[in-house]
Structure 1
Amino acid sequence: MPDVHPLRPGDPERIGAYRLVGVLGTGGQGVVYQGIDEAGRKVAVKLLHPPLNRDRHAAKGFLREVEAVRRVAAFCTAAVLDVGLLDQQPYIVSEYIAGDTLQTLVRSAGPRTGGALDRLAISTLTALAAIHEAGIVHRDFKPANVLVGPEGPIVIDFGIAKALDSTTLASGPIGTPAYMSPEQFRGERVTPASDVFSWAGTMVFAATGRQPFAGQTVPALVNAVLSREPDLSGVPAHLGDSLRSCLAKDPALRPPAADLLRRLIRPAEPIPSPVNTEPARVPVNDAPTRPHQAGKMSRRVLIGGAAAVGAAAISALAVFRDRELTPSPSTTPSATREGSPAPVAAARPFGAEVRGPIALPGGDGVPTSVAAAGATVVCGTSEGVTFVWDADTTTLTRLGDRGAAVTSAAIGTRGGTPVVTTGHTDGTLRLWSPTGAELATHRAGDPVIGVSAGRRAVAVTQKYDSLSDLHSVVRLIDIATGRQIGATITDHFQGVSGLAFGRLGDDDVLVTGDGEERIRVWSLATGKLRHSFGTGDVGGIELLACGESGGRPILVSTHLDATLRVHDLATGESRQKWPFSDRSPDDRGAAALAAGRLGDVPIAVVAHNPAGDEITVRIWNLDTGEVVGELGSAPTVALAELAGRSVIVGATRDRTLRAWSLGP
């Protein structure tokens, strides 16, 4: 049982509607008190620090994020009952769980074994699946955030790291180093796969009493997480393979929580393949080159029925996969040769696969970025390699050797000549010919978050000066020369939230969003700010894309409140706002966004995940707000053109490139 210590001098006696009677503990995020509500029930009140008084929008951002946490079903989790501010200091009230943390239990009583370990794994994984189902990423899953009470293991503090990230610590990773995922250390997008990594590390600790990665100092520990294999000695054999897959460095290789839950419940049954078809491998042109509240009764029932939860989640995925389209006869291996044209049927139905699957070579990483111009598709990978796919002839050309992950890729025309640009996590900028010749390479120093390939090839870099800084340092760099364009930009609150390249009049422009729901439009020629505008109510800008409607430039955006919005790029006037669903998907809302035209109709292509683990690609009519079609899973997408017809191209999780018809 947890010890309850007397209140100390300076501790509040009351927070909101709750009378405080003792201190349960103190940690890096704040102090946890035992409280009594107006009905006399015990609650846990967590008073977080520091106060949110550094910016007028901080409190609003914190409350918005924690409110999302309250959507999580309360089986295997501590239900969040209330949230508020005490003199600008945030607090969160949750149900009181009479139990010790897993960390305390293992250190005092030793590792978990046998059925106790299996129950712990299944219960905590069920909780994680429920958290992800609500669109939340825990971000700080660790032994100290698992309470082992009389009703079984309970997961706590889910979503608090995201809430803090949205207010005071947006510039650095939040978590406990021993259980953080590689992508958290690399500053990359944090997804449910990060929680799966942290869950596996927690299970290793539960089974062995030690962490999966050793290190006496934080730098040594970070290095181990990023580059060494986990130590699974002492982990029972029936859990070993599952935990090893969860601890993969590449988040795309980790199983989703629902698939993993089924594996643990039914270990003899194979996990369904993410793709129904065997991809066709085409020759790769290796061009010469230089060297990413339910109550307690329902909790008991659902913990005991974890098998049903896992089976239901997998069944939903299986139904979706059954609807996925098989390759057309023109894309089978026997009909595809390097350099040979692959004809497109004149009127393929909407969603029909008209090109692919074209498999990327093994060992070159997972796709991180896709761009297209005409029938030429560019795909960057987590291993720093870029591929150029000529979708007219199925030729695949490899650009560059392995290195820092590609964060952004683009293709366009410079001086009448086609060029490809790539930006990397280590600040490298590259300019290529689509045939493989490297035209320029420079090091900007700061990580690249976006590149263009228009009349002027430009890269956007971003860094934070310190973990406590609320504003990032952004620079525009000429990729051909490596020189900075304009002055350094330091006014993006909480950093850049979404960026896009487009045209405004005769000017190529960069469009950026930030944590204050503010859009800025920059000239790529001079690096100067042309104008800025707000997106209106609180929504959390996520992704941006530039397009055209009625002869005027528009900005399309997705938001963390699960909305798709359209603005007039020249005036900032809000034109449309449509909901994705009836709930916010947190930072899993949208994986990719592209804007273009289908005939005379302006459209947006959104790869998003309102519920579950499959990413769905939907095409929106931006004049009416209607969803005109839906495709299979592709985390990265772009609009291209084949035989005079608009198509969608994308890279799927199985490392294949595909193209889908948008209809006659």
Structure 2
Amino acid sequence: MDPLQPGDPAQVGTYRLLGRLGAGGMGQVFFGRSPGGRPVAVKLIRPEHAGSEQFRARFAREVEAARSVGGFHTAPVVDADPSADPPWMVTAYIPGPSLQEAVVQYGPLPPEAIRSLGAGLAEGLAAIHRSGLVHRDLKPANVILATDGPRVIDFGIARALDGAGGVTLTGAVVGTFAYMSPEQVRAEQVGPAGDAFSLGCVLAYAATGHSPFDAGSIAAVVHRVISEPPDLVGVPLGNGLRDLITACLAKDPAARPSMSDILARLSAPGAGDLPPTVVDMITSRESQSRAALENHGGHTATEHLEAPPPPPAPRLIRRRSVLIGGLAAAAAISVPAIVIVAASDDPPGDTGPAPSRSAEPEVTARPEFAVQPEIAASPPAEILTYEGSPGDPSVTQMDFSPDGSILACGNGSGDIRMWNVASKRSIADFEGHDDSVRSVAFSPDGKTLASGSMDLTVRLWDVATGRTTAVLTDHTDYVWTVAFSPDGRTLASAGWDGTVRLWDVATGRTVDVLTTDDSVFGVAYSPDGELLATSDGGTVRLWGTSSGRSVAVFPEEPEPVDAVVFSPDGRTLAGACGDDVLLWDVDSRRLIGTLAGHTDSVAGLAFSPDGGTLASSGFDGAVRLWDMTFSRPTKVLTGHTDIVLSVAFSPDGGILASGSGDLTVRLWNLKG
């Protein structure tokens, strides 16, 4: 738990806030205390989302779905106000590690403990099903081990049994493939039997330390889930456990046991407690939770601690520790990364013909939850320091000039600082905006710099003189990002008013207005200039630049997509969604991968000029480098002490710049 920062609220509703726990794509999560002294997790929606009626409606649906679930083995929502400004939700806190955490640290569980675990999970899933929901993403990371039994958490992609009100569009495949049922992999209707299949996978993981469908690539995982028997080597024989797991993993949903059947078979004599090592993990966190409450004047008696908050997570483990997606507790930077690559038969959300491009080569990935090879140490970095003190406005977004000689950095004070890359000296400050500069971009010829600001304007600057050449004022809300077309003739600007405006750079006139359903946070041109990608809320769209029409709408994501960027060959589109990076195939419009490793919201994305590396940065203060040939992490660049909102590669790919709320820009030497 981190202390509250200047500007954080002291109270939400009747709940006193005592510390920071983490953040997701939708909001900030705080540790709080109820009026009666009970520890709670308070989720406060980000101000930039609270103004969106569509987002408020989505949040209200999420709250109602979570509130409808009862039982002993889920984490309850205890209070919420979706109509507040900003909206908020309060959940009970569950101390203890995730199942993934416990198995990674101490190995597989003994058979008796697995039976007890399975009975608790079956009871929790039965409660979910009685509420008319299917979990659809049960996996080891979504199971929290507590002293009174396991808890099923993270209803981020739960869906109604009748298929209405779901969070994804038809044809979308959402979840974790190594724990999905065959029908979910095929993007078909998923019922309670789908959760039974996932439960079988989770119990097999608890017994062996890996999914029964692990393979060397996601394509192979998908094939195994659909067509091959599970690998149950290591699951104990003789106590009925392997027979039950085998039944749960039947390819035909009708052949799988019901939750009541599973519960009856697992709650028979033979169930047992967790190993002492895991119990020690749980009790240690409970003790630290009590100490945290005591230090803040809370009650410490056992009867007041039905759901105490956990202490900070171990620095080598990634976990989600509360109910709704996006309520993740802060974890460490050096967590083993997870790569998920999706596949489906039909391109979902396609509303027009795909442009002609050669096929994307198969993307491979290590088996999920497998520990990645040791990540290389951070390369050396030059540090460019702003004047100021912690808490001053952050460095927002950056861009290198086409020749690599200048780095332009926007900041929260409304200025743009120009740095000479060779000398590492500030050479100019472009001043004129009245509020935070959220985006900067050089024109392809390097003569013009564009900037978008929260003062509702876009400015064009003459790089040589630092003078403003145009002020574009048609946006009616914050301007979040700007991007030049590859030929430099058109500038796209995206705003919270739900529009993307296309400007003629020579005249400063609006040539087109693209209208979306929500505030627009990301915009990017494809390398050939034929497509424009935008992200509004959780929706990513492709627009034809010649027609000005939407040619594709990707399936809606459960969290907002805050940035989008094309790979240099134009085949892949990357998006920042919560604490993950999503990868889409541009031709098929399919989600082909998820890069998971950040422990807080991802804010910045950049492809290297050769397309071999993707850099990502976020609110966890880390910069991650991903090998795009194998979709695996290669480096975690550490050193920043605050959020990192932006990353940018130099034109030759030798330097990566990262800008942070710690008032520094780091220039990482990637070529030694």
Give TM-score, length-normalised by structure 2: 0.46
| Bigger proportion of residues as strand | 1
